[in-house]
Amino acid sequence: MTIEPEDLPPVPDIPTTPSGLPVRVPQANLAEPLRTDEAAPAPQPDEDADPGRSPEEIKRIMGAYQRGGRRGRDDAAANLGTTAAKGEEEQ
C-alpha cells in the first residue's frame, strides 16, 4: 500500500530562523494554568527575620575554617613523616 501525497494531512506553515530551526514561541508548551503574563509577586522580607552575620563574624568563621584546614594538613604530614608543602608553612 502506497501513501499518496494527497492522503497526508497538510503540514502547518511554521516560521523558521535563517538556519532552518523553528522559531521559539515562549510558553507555547506550558500547561494552561501556567500560561500567564503576570509575574508572581516577590515575597516581602520578614520584618523579624535574622539580618544575617556581620562581616566581622564571617571573617572570624572563615579564619577558623582556614586554620583548621591548615592544622589538618600539618597533622597529616606529621603522621606521614613529611613536612608541609612549600608555601603552606605557618604564616
Q: 5 lies in a domain?
A: no
Q: 31 lies in a domain?
A: no
Q: Number of structural domains, the chain? A: 1
**Whether residue 35 has pLDDT greater than 80:** no
Q: 49 lies in a domain?
A: no
Provide the pLDDT confidence category of residue 1 given band limits of 50, 70 and 90: low
Model confidence pTM above 0.75: no
Q: 19 lies in a domain?
A: no
Give me the mean pLDDT over the 67-90 stretch: 79
Residue 69, pLDDT score: 96
Q: 48 lies in a domain?
A: no
**Distance between CA atoms of 41 and 46, rounded to whole angstroms?**
15
Residue 83, pLDDT score: 63
Domain extent for 60: 55-79
**Whether residue 85 has pLDDT greater than 60:** no
What cell numbers appear for 45 in the block? 522580607
* Torsion angle of the four alpha carbons 57, 60, 64, 66, in this order, in degrees rounded to the nearest 10: 110
**Distance between CA atoms of 12 and 15, rounded to whole angstroms?**
10
User: 39-60: b or e for each residue (b if 16 or more CB lie within 10 Å)?
Assistant: eeeeeeeeeeeeeeeeeeeeee
pLDDT, greater one: 37 or 12:
12
User: How high is the mean pLDDT of the chain?
Assistant: 81
Q: 62 lies in a domain?
A: yes
Q: 17 lies in a domain?
A: no
Q: 15 lies in a domain?
A: no
